[in-house]
Amino acid sequence: MNLHKLKKYQKLIFGLICDLLGYVSFIFPPFDFVWAPLSGYLMTKLYEGKKGKIAGFIVFVEEALPFLDVVPTFTMMWVYTYWNKSSEV
């Protein structure tokens, strides 16, 4: 599945689901060992170029460090990408 090709609101829904998955580690902390690298990878596939790589690194660190899982990184990246471009897409 090519995540770059998802439409604007499909990316938002996918991002919300990914952010919710990040909360699983509050119930089952070892989940972060799997989710941190996977979320970083998914972010780089969801958003192209340099901003996707930077966001992928940020989400990896955020998910890997304890107590930072509350930050909705995928949703924030969607807002950053589409907030001022809503009329263009």
- 3-38: b or e for each residue (b if 16 or more CB lie within 10 Å)? beebeeeebbebbeebbebbeebeeeeebbeebbee
In a domain, 38, yes or no: yes
In a domain, 89, yes or no: no
In a domain, 86, yes or no: no
In a domain, 67, yes or no: yes
In a domain, 32, yes or no: yes
In a domain, 87, yes or no: no
Residue 64 contacts by C-beta under 8 Å, 6 or more apart in sequence? 32, 36
pTM: 0.85
Domain count, the chain: 1
Question: What range does the domain containing 64 cover?
Answer: 3-81
In a domain, 42, yes or no: yes
What is the rounded distance in angstroms from the CA atom of residue 66 to the CA atom of residue 63? 7
What is the rounded distance in angstroms from the CA atom of residue 87 to the CA atom of residue 32? 37
Per-residue confidence (pLDDT) for residue 89, from 0 to 100: 47
* pLDDT, averaged in runs of 10, over the chain (89 residues): 79 94 89 94 94 95 86 94 67
Per-residue confidence (pLDDT) for residue 47, from 0 to 100: 93
In a domain, 31, yes or no: yes
